[in-house]
């Protein structure tokens, strides 16, 4: 499966990769989470939430050196077919800090409905006949969900269990398929974390 990078080709691996997400407690260091490569335990990404940034409805995905890769911002109050929903927008950031739209994610009307699909559109749009490019299936708070493309192919899976680690509220695995933009995947996971009131939320 070949997918054009959404954030950067630097984060596309020729083989499938397993990462460990470790949530940071609010009390100690402001929340957010750290992503490490499973075999090497090397930090690959870090997500700063509003406990660190001091801004609600805004997140930053950083690389291993702490440089900002992706700004994630929630916009509210859009009305579509008489239902109010909120949309998140992801902007890739270059080394000079200029923003380029990368993707948008429509927040579900109710986080209580377990199988409420969450749809993601890339920018510029790939213009699939479904009107979206990716979908989150499953229930993120249970750490059992997948990101699939518009053809139904799984590109990333949250909560793949490893016997040595197990699954806990603050530690879980994410498997990313070959040639898939890992920065995009963890940008989506950062938004899901915030929507469901987890480590990135104040």
- pLDDT for 145-172, tens place per residue? 999 999 999 999 998 555 455 556 678 9
The CA–CA distances, whole Å, from 134 to 109, 122, 188 equal 18, 8, 10
* Res 107: pLDDT: 85
* Res 85: pLDDT: 63
* Res 50: pLDDT: 81
Question: All domains of the chain, ordered by start, with CATH?
Answer: 10-195 (2.40.160.200)
* Res 97: pLDDT: 67
Q: Which sign does the torsion angle of CA 169, 41, 186, 94 carry?
A: positive
Partners of 157 in beta bridges: 146, 175
* Res 24: pLDDT: 83
* Res 31: pLDDT: 81
Per-run averaged pLDDT (10 residues), the chain, 202 residues = 82 95 76 91 93 87 95 72 72 81 85 73 72 91 92 90 57 95 97 91 80
């Amino acid at each position: 499966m070949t997918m054009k990078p959404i954030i950067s080709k630097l984060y596309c691996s020729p083989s499938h990769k397993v990462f460990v997400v470790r949530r940071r407690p609010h009390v100690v260091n402001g929340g957010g989470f750290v992503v490490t490569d499973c075999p090497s335990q090397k930090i690959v990404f870090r997500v700063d939430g509003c406990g660190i940034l001091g801004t609600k409805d805004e997140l930053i995905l950083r690389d291993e050196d702490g440089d900002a890769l992706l700004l994630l911002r929630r916009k509210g109050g859009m009305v579509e077919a008489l239902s109010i929903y909120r949309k998140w927008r992801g902007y890739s950031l270059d080394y000079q800090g200029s923003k380029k739209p990368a993707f948008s994610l429509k927040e579900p009307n109710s986080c209580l409905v377990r199988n409420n699909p969450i749809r993601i559109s890339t920018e510029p749009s790939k213009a699939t006949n479904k009107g979206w490019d990716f979908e989150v299936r499953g229930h993120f708070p249970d750490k059992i969900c997948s990101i699939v493309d518009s053809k139904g192919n799984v590109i990333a899976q949250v909560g793949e269990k490893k016997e040595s680690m197990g699954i806990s509220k603050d530690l879980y695995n994410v498997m990313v398929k070959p040639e898939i933009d890992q920065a995009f995947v963890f940008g989506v996971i950062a938004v899901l974390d915030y929507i469901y009131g987890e480590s990135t939320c104040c």
